[in-house]
Structures are given as C-alpha cells and as structure tokens.
Structure 1
Amino acid sequence: MSAQLLIGPVLRRVVGTRATIWVETSAPAAVRVLAGGGGGQATTFSAYGHHYALVVVEGLEPGAETPYEVLIDDELVWPEPDSPYPISVIRTREREDADQPVRLVFGSCRETTQHATHRKLPPDALDAYARRMMVGDEPAPDLLVLLGDQVYADIPSPAVKRFLKKSRAHDHDGPEHEVVTYEEYTKLYLESWRDPEIRWLFATVPSVMIFDDHEIIDDWNSSASWRAEVREQPWWPERIASGLASYWVYQHLGNLDPDQIAADPVYQKVLAAAGDATEVLREFGSAVDKEADGAPGYQWSYALDLGRTRVVVLDNRCSRVLDPQTRAMLPPGEWAWFADQARGAYDHLVVGSSLPWLLPPGIHHLETWNERLAESDRPRVAGFAERQRRAFDLEHWAAFRRSFDGLADLFAEVATADRASVSVLSGDVHHSYVARARFRRPVAAPVYQLTCSPVHNQIQAFMRPVLRVGWWRGAAAAARLLARAARVAPPAVRWRKLAGPYFGNAVGTLVHESRSARVVIEGTTTAGDLRTVAAVELTPPTSR
C-alpha cells in the first residue's frame, strides 16, 4: 500500500519567492509540491516509526496567489477529491512594495478540537476564523502566530486517555492520564491538526509557533526547586525528551526559513541518520532540556521580517535561568541576540512572548513581591513563597524582574522616532486585553501589550473577578505597597488598560499599514461566529 498523508500539508514560511510545506506521511515516501511554475520535493525522514518531510518550494511568482498540489510518490493527495473547502494557495508579497500592509493573526491556548474535548467549551475561535476565510469575508493574513499551548500533554482528551489506557503496559510508571512517550505526543497532534477547519487553515495561511508549559507540563521550569522535584519522577526523562523532540518536529522545524533549515544542526543530523533519526532526536530532547541547568542549549527563539515589520518570537520556557540570584527569562547569549534583532532596521517591532510582559498591575506587583520572598535566605520564607509561586502560577515576566526591567529598558531604547510602534503579542492567561506602556523617559513610538487567550479553552469562573480587580487602581496600589515593603524597586514603566479584559475564546489581528497600526480582538458567539470585542488604533492612521 502506498504512503498516505496523515497530517498536512502545513504551510509554514513564505520568504520572497520560496515557501516551506511540512507533512507527515504513513510510510517513507517522496513528497512533491507543485505550485504554478514553481515547486519542490523532499524525501521523508523517519523517527520513532513516524515519517515527515519539509519541502522547500521555489520559483513562486511575486505578489501572487498560487494554488498548489501535494503528491506522495507521484500520487495526488492534496487537494483532496470532492473537498468542500476552497483550494489552498501560497500567497507571496510584492518584491519592492515596502508599504504593503502586514496582517498578523495571533492567539494561544487551544485545547483539542471541539468534538474531541470532554469539556463544554465555547466555540473554537480558530475554527470560526477559518470558516470566515473560506467564504471570502476575511482578508488573507500574512502570518498566523500561535503563542503556546498548541497541545496539552497534561490534559489530553478522552480519546487520547483511552489510547493511553489501552496501549500502556501494566507496569508503566508514568502519570495515568498524561502523555509521556513520543508516540503518545503524536496522538495529540494528529487529533488537533486534523480538525477539518484547522487543517484547511494550516494549509492556506503561513504559520509560526512557540511552546508554553502545557506542551510539556503545567508550570514547566517555574523555578529551580520545581526542576529538582520533577527530576525525581521516574517518567520525567522520557517525558521531557519526547516533548521537546516532538515539538522540534511538529512545530519548531517549520519556524525556520529555507536558508536556516539547511544550516540547522539538528536537521543536519536528522538527515544524516541512515533511515532512522530516533536516537538523534531522543538525545537532542534530553540534552536541550539541560540549558536551564547552565549547559549549552539550542535557540528556540527566532526572528523574521514582513515588509517593514520585524517579528521576534521568544522562548519563555526552555532556556530560563533559574538560579534565584540570576533568574532570567533568557540566558545572556540569547538575550544579546534578541537585543540585536530589536535594534535592526524596521518600522514596527512585534515581540511574540507566550507569557505577557504587562499583567494586570495588581498581579504584577504580587509576582515581584513573591519573587523577592523566594530569594530570602530564611528557608521558611523562601519555602512559603515557592509554594505560592506554584499554586498561583506566579511565573510571568514580573516574577523574573531582571528580565522585565531589561525588556522595559530595551523598548525605551528602540522606541525612537524611526519606529512606528512596538507591540508584545502574548497568550497564556486565558483572557484578552490591550494595554499601553508609559515610560519614565519620553519615547517617540508607542509600546503596547496585546494579549489574546484562549483560542479554545476557558478560565475558571472564580478567576474572572480576581483578574478584573487586578486592573483596579486601589488593588494595584495595595499590591505595590506590599512589594515596596519587601524592598522591591518600582518598575521603570507603568501601563494602563485600553481594552478588556475579555474572558471568552478569541483570536487577535494586528494590522500594519505604512506607519499606522491597529489591533482587533474577536470573540466567538454561541453560534460559532466571531464578533469584535476590542478594536484599538495603536497609532494615528495618518502617522508618518
């Protein structure tokens, strides 16, 4: 029997007249993509009994919408016969048109497809967005930016739980209802990415992704003591190796542009492995986790340009520095790389961060207070703070104060008259809002926090009033006094909410036109449509 298309095609990066398309097949195969006068082909690589290909498509026409076909061993597999969906196309930008609008769609936290979840969640915002695109009511975005928790390893669907129960031996020592092995991870992606609307959307809109904690486990790398405890679990080595290896295959590989793919050291080893890259990826997954312990790591962060927009997506999890005395979101080398990208030549800077930089102020000050207590040399105080850190997820940028201040200083530096806007896109917190930063020193370009979460999930009801109160001036002032009592210095930036908080499933759209910028956040209705819940002009439409 010939190889079949299991997942995909997934259109990932479009750079100039080239594009990358990722697929998973049922057996080793030759994969070919035909797109007008252009095309490309690749032979699958294998790992853990699964087969993948990343095809570089070349020779596309600039400024065009080109339908494409996917063939496996010369048999047409995409578009599927009798498909009710529009044909998939690859859209390229005009070569010389720097002022061509840039449209970024973003969101995070997508629990599995609506029909597979065990919970009665509101309609999936990404499904709703895809349906609107299909009927031509939505301008095609340049990029879909997914900001974490694309799959939930620790909260799988009933179908995946049944698979775990059936497939595991009686002496399996892993968590009963959580995935551990690479094979189990593949079930998460197969279930989520074969949702018909999502499959069409992924085949039609370029996408980039970054992990958050649930791709691995809740509170991943929240602190050094958390790491010390989880490493005592007998199932942890396989969980972390499988989680990072599968993330590299399913998500990160497609983040790389065509030139970066060829130079990526892991990809080189995968291709060099004679027929089976299982050991390459197992060793990689185990080794890269050790960066949080100070070992040399792998850079998950990446950057790309769309016209005059610079997009930098940051790893907020794997590479954290967790020593309480030097705690940081990124290690020094990766921070230097990020700062260099932020100082480049562009009009709009967009920073993708799975965790919000600017939280509700009351919660921000509680996190800085908690971090200071966790650094105490009194064991009982530090232990209390650590318990609170984990119980209430106090691990955002505010709880890595050096990095929070470093980001504020960097934005104040780059927000010059040469810039049109600076925006931080985030998810994680299961509610959506828009906030503007105010710096102690004058800055020419506006700086914003744009948070959109969840795409398909739901926050606990008791947290909604807590998050609303977090924006109140009185609550923020009380939490700020608490932080100052612990000798926490005031932040170098303050911020105010412009829209939100909104607690439903949502998807955000950031649009840059010349030097103007605007953001729209849309939530799902009970009928599964989208409605605008926030619309904010980030710069004057006539800004020059």
Structure 2
Amino acid sequence: MTSLVLGPVLRHVGDDSATVWVQTDGPTTVEILGTRTRTFEVSGHHYALVVVTGLIPDTRTPYEVHLDGERVWPPAASPFPPSSIATRGPASASAGRHRILFGSCRYVKVADPRTAATFGIDALDAYSARMAGRPPQEWPDALLLIGDQVYADELTPQTVRRIAGRRDQHPDWPDDEIVNFEEYVGLYRDAWTDPEIRWIMSTVPTGMIFDDHDIRDDWNTSDVWRRQMAQESWWAERVRSGLASYWVYQHLGNLSPDELADDPDYAKIIAHDGDTWPLLAELADRADAEVDGSKGIRFSFRWALGRTRIVVIDSRNGRILGDGDHLMVGDREFGWIEERALEPGPTDHLLLVTSVPWLLPPAIGDLETVNEIAAARPGWRGRLGEKIRQAGDLEHWPAFRESFDRLAGLIAAASSARGDEPAPASVSVLSGDVHHSYAARADVDGAGEAPVHQLTCSPVHNHVPPYVRVGFRLGWSRAAGRLTRAWSTRKGASTPPVTWHKLGGPYFGNTIASLEIDGRHADVVFEQPTGAASLREAARHTLTSAPRSSR
C-alpha cells in the first residue's frame, strides 16, 4: 500500500477551488473531495498537487486524503481537528475580517536536549497547538512563510549522520552541507513532519518564498559571490537541486489553478511518463541563469484575501548581478510586481512581502548603501568592500540602492488614490531574515494618504547570538543613525526617498506575527511562545487610523 510521506499542505485557496500538495512513497492516484490526480516522479520520489474544484464559496469543508482508494489522512486517533478548506467568497470579502500569520527562519526541531534548549520553543509549533483548541472562526486565513523553510548549510546532527555515507562516492562534496536533490528531500521531510506543523499547514492556506539558507548563506549577494561559488565543483549540483526542490515543494502551491493551467513547465512535468528529473534540472538551470537582465522563471506571486492584496517578491533568486548590474529584482519581474500592486480594483490593504527587509535599522541601512558604493570601486578598495559585504551580510534592499528607490516609488504610487478608487487604508512591507522582529513607520516621498509600515518577524525558531542583539539595538539608536547618514552622504550616497522610525522592537527570540484586519482597520501582533501550546503577546501596534468594521 502506498503511504503519505508529507502533507497534505493546503496552498492556494479561491472562492470555489483549492490546491493541496502531497508527497507519497510511490506512484499513486491521490483523491481529495472527489478530485483525483496522478503523482509525478522526481528521482524516485512522488508528488501531486491536487486542484480541488466545485467548492462552495464562504464555507469550511473538512477533507480526507485517499491514495488508490485507501484513506491515509487524517491519521487514526489524531489529536487535531479535521483538516479543512475555508473558501473565500463575497461574504468574507464584505465582512473584511482576516488574520494573516507570517514569520521566517524556522529551524527544525533537534533531538539533542542541550541544542534544543538553545533554540527554544518553535513559535509556529506553539501557535498550531494553541489554534487546535480554538474555534475555527479564530483560525488564520493565510500563513506566509517568508524564507528559510529549510537550512541547506546549517545541518542538524541527524542530517550530518544521514548524508555521511554518501560522501564516500563524492569526496569533493562538503560534509556539512546539502548538495543533491535526495538530500533536499530529507531536509523537507525533517521540517514538515512535525505533527503540529503538518496539521496547521493542512488547514491554513500557506504561501512560501525562499531566502538564502534554502540554498546557501549569502546566496546571490553579488556577482563576485556567484563567480566564487561557481568555482566549487559541487555548486552546480547544489543550486540545481535547491531550485528544483523549491519548485516542487514550495513554488507550485503558490500558483492559482488558472496560473497552473497556463504554466508550460507544470504541463510538461505532469504529462511526462517516468522520472521528471531531467526536466526539472533544465528548469532549475534556466531559473538560475541571467539572460538579458532577467531570470528564466518568475517566482514572485500574487494572492488576495477579499480587499487585501498580497504581492510576494522574490528578492533572492530574482537578483540580477551580471554585466555591471546590481539589482534586487530584474526590470521585467519588477514591472510585473508594479502591475500587480497597482492594478485596478478596490484595495483596503496592500501587503508587499519580501524575505529581506526593505527598511532596516537606519544605521545598518546606511552602512549597506555605503558598502555598495565601496564594493563597486576598482582595485583593492573594491575587493575590500566585497569582503566586508560578504562577511557582514550587507545584502538587503539598502545594499541594492537602485531597487530600494524603485520600491519606494512603487509604494508611493500604491499609497495614493487613483481615479475614482480611494487610497488603501495601509501599505505594509512584510519581511524576515534578520533574527529580530520590529514594526517601523515610514514617510515616503510623494506618498499618498495610506500609512506605510515595515513589519519584520524573525526568527520563528532559531538561535539569536548576543552580539546580534547588541548590533541591532545599536542600529536602531538615533545617534548611530545620524552618524551613519552623515557618513553615507560624504561617501556619495544620495538621500533616501524615505525616512522611518521604529514603532516597536527590536523583539528578540522566537516570534510569530499576525496581521489582524477588520475592514480598513489593521493591527500587527507579535507573539512569543511560553509553552508547548501557549504564547504571550509581546507587542501590538495599530497600523491605521480607520475604525474597526461594523459589518
């Protein structure tokens, strides 16, 4: 009998449809709510994305997973409520009440008690356990995992032991990093088999975007970094496997049924008889390559929750670094992002999601901008600037100043009324990566009525060294900000088209954040775990002046 390895993971949900992802241990037909889908194979592993249609808008429907007619989900004697699909629809859109959960940097649970104590309680794990005891009307409407779902370069002891035997065949491969697709399969299995995580992902529509550790620390920091890594004999296999596994495990489910139907790569994969690895390897190589200032695949995507618009930006693989460019996102993909953010239609809240923050602590942002200028210089000064960039992880939006300014321009346009449509009630940039959480209010040149915020939540489950805490506290100090701004001006940096100040934070420790939307009113809440099924509210910040909805 075929078994369920991972999933079900509830992904895109619309008014009358939903996609559900699964991994099985053999070829099979997956059935969910009467929809049957055949698995496809990748290097001996089997997957399916079931597009469930014919659902009723504004309803919650429990579901089961059957493989070749045998029920495999939910497991027998599950302590959790039934997995279910809550569709969107006119009633929920009219009510305008949504809860969007987000966070980043989730390291897997480890078996060693001492190491586990260092990492602390997983915030998403605790949220799921608490959620299971609450009524469905209090459950989140979406979960956004904003980077570092897996760590390919920071392995648990059990993963190191698992891959040790394979290194006899590949002596040039590193002992402490993942290289091929098979090893990535193990990473995702470790990350997604935790019972609490498995249940919440089966019930809350989950969108995902990667960050550097999904491939490697500092991934796509600069053209120099890319050329350095290309010299490693194992790197081509690593980036190919990382991007191929990302496409299978994360990217596919971000797409709507209509987008899947129009995707030629997906059509080739599901139509192929046998192992699809050669097709995926070509896809991954195309995604990694820069051609005429663009990447071969767009991983940015768009979701909507009623009058809340969500545009998720690929700020890792989307970088353009060759031929003298240094862009966070290529021109063609940035154009797509601008179109999705500004397209006509009533919008109460616009969420721009990027794994790396747009607005950092001001002093650190200035340092990154100065470093970009330094690293572009010829000779030893440029080489020194590049070494500092890589050593200090100076690779967020301020280190890509042209892209930083372009995003500011987009936000200014999006925060304004257009034609007969009023301005949104809020524009927020959601991010992770930096191992501390905060809320900041921004004043953008040329912006309209909508307040603009940077909301950062990191980590969900990881260790924050003491020196990191000291550095970020200093980065937020006004005195340090004044000094670095004066220094950046002397070094030739133009004045940023935005100023910002901290509303709250930095909050250190494992954290999960939620946007609580009620009509044109919105709050952000940061919660930190205090037990296996309990969290405390670390902070709550109101993002809009609009009253709560009376609907």
| TM-score (norm. length: structure 1) | 0.96
Q: Distance in 2 between matches of 1:292 and 1:164?
A: 35
The equivalent residue for 2:154 is 155
CA distance in 1, matches of 2:355, 2:469: 20
Matched AA of 2:35: G
Q: How does 1:236-251 map to 2 (within 5 A)?
A: 236-251=235-250
Question: Could you tell me how far 1:198 is from its partner in structure 2?
Answer: 0.3
Matches within 5 A, 1:193-342: 193-291=192-290, 294=293, 296-323=295-322, 325-342=324-341
* Counterpart residue type for residue 106 of structure 2: R
Instruction: State the one-letter code of the partner of 1:69.
Output: E
1:53 alignment partner AA: A
Does the aligned pair in 2 maintain the 1:114–1:123 contact within 8 Å?
A: no
1 CA distance for matches of 2:432 and 2:16? Answer: 31
1:114-125 mapped onto 2 (5 Å cutoff): 114-115=110-111, 118-119=115-116, 120-125=118-123
Contact 2:294 2:320 in 1 (8 A): no
1:141-190: CA deviations, max 9, x gaps?
Answer: 11100000000000121111101112332543111111101000000011
Which has the higher mean CA deviation after the structures are superposed, 414-423 or 471-480?
414-423
Deviates more, 1:429-438 or 1:440-449: 440-449
AA aligned to 2:238 is R
Instruction: Verify the 8 A CA contact 2:8 2:22 in the aligned structure 1.
Output: yes
* Cross-structure match for 1:128: 126
Answer yes or no: is the 8 Å Cα contact 1:124–1:528 preserved in 2: no
Q: In the alignment, is residue 110 of structure 1 matched against residue 111 of structure 2? A: no
- Contact 2:425/2:546 (<8 A) preserved: no
Q: C-alpha separation between the residues in 2 aligned to 1:190 and 1:454?
A: 20
Name the CA distance, whole Å, in 2 between partners of 1:428 and 1:240: 20
Task: Pick closer, same or farther for the CA change 1:127–1:97 going to 2, 3 Å.
Answer: closer
**Whole-angstrom distance in 1 between the partners of 2:87 and 2:271:** 32
SS, match of residue 276 in structure 1: coil
Paired letter, 1:507: I
What is aligned with 2:363?
Answer: 362
CA-to-partner distance for each residue in 1:47-78, whole Å, 9 max, x for gaps? 11100011011121222111101100000001
- For 1:188, the equivalent position in structure 2 comes to 187
- Which residue number corresponds to residue 427 of structure 1? 432
Write out aligned runs for 1:341-490 (5 A): 341-344=340-343, 345=345, 346-377=347-378, 379-417=379-417, 418=422, 419-441=424-446, 443-490=448-495
What is the SS of the residue equivalent to 2:168?
coil
Letter matched to residue 475 of structure 1: A
Distance 1:183 1:408, change over 3 A: same
Query: Which is further off, 133-142 or 503-512?
Result: 133-142
Contact kept, 8 Å, 2:288 with 2:295, in 1: the verdict is no
Output the CA distance in 2 between the equivalents of 1:296 and 1:320.
Answer: 8
Cα distance between partner residues in 1 of 2:53 and 2:267 = 20
Alpha-carbon shift at residue 443 of structure 1 (Å): 2.4
Contact 1:291 1:319 in 2 (8 A): no
State, as a whole percentage, how many aligned pairs show the same letter: 48
Deviations 1:433-467 (A, max 9, x none): 00010124452000000000000002211111110
Flag structure 1 segments of 5+ consecutive residues without an equivalent: none
Q: Is the 8 A contact 1:324 1:375 kept in 2?
A: no
Unaligned regions of 5+ residues in structure 2, if any? none
Contact 2:511 2:526 in 1 (8 A): yes
Matched length = 538
**Native 8 Å contact 1:292 1:322 kept in 2:** no
Return the alpha-carbon distance in structure 2 between the equivalents of residues 60 and 486 of structure 1: 59
| Aligned mates of 1:171, 1:411 — CA distance in 2 | 48
2:52 to 47, 53, 57: 57
Q: CA RMSD in A?
A: 1.7
SS of 1:192's equivalent?
A: helix
AA in 1 matched with 2:50: V
Distance change in 2, residues 1:95/1:207 (3 Å): same
Deviation at 1:423, TM superposition (A): 0.4
1:496 alignment counterpart: 501
CA distance in 1, matches of 2:145, 2:26: 29
CA contact (8 A) 2:441 2:501 kept: yes
**Distance apart, 1:272 and its partner CA:** 2.5
2:511, 2:528 within 8 Å by CA — same for their partners in 1? yes
CA distance change for structure 1 residues 351 and 383 in 2, over 3 Å: closer, same or farther?
A: same
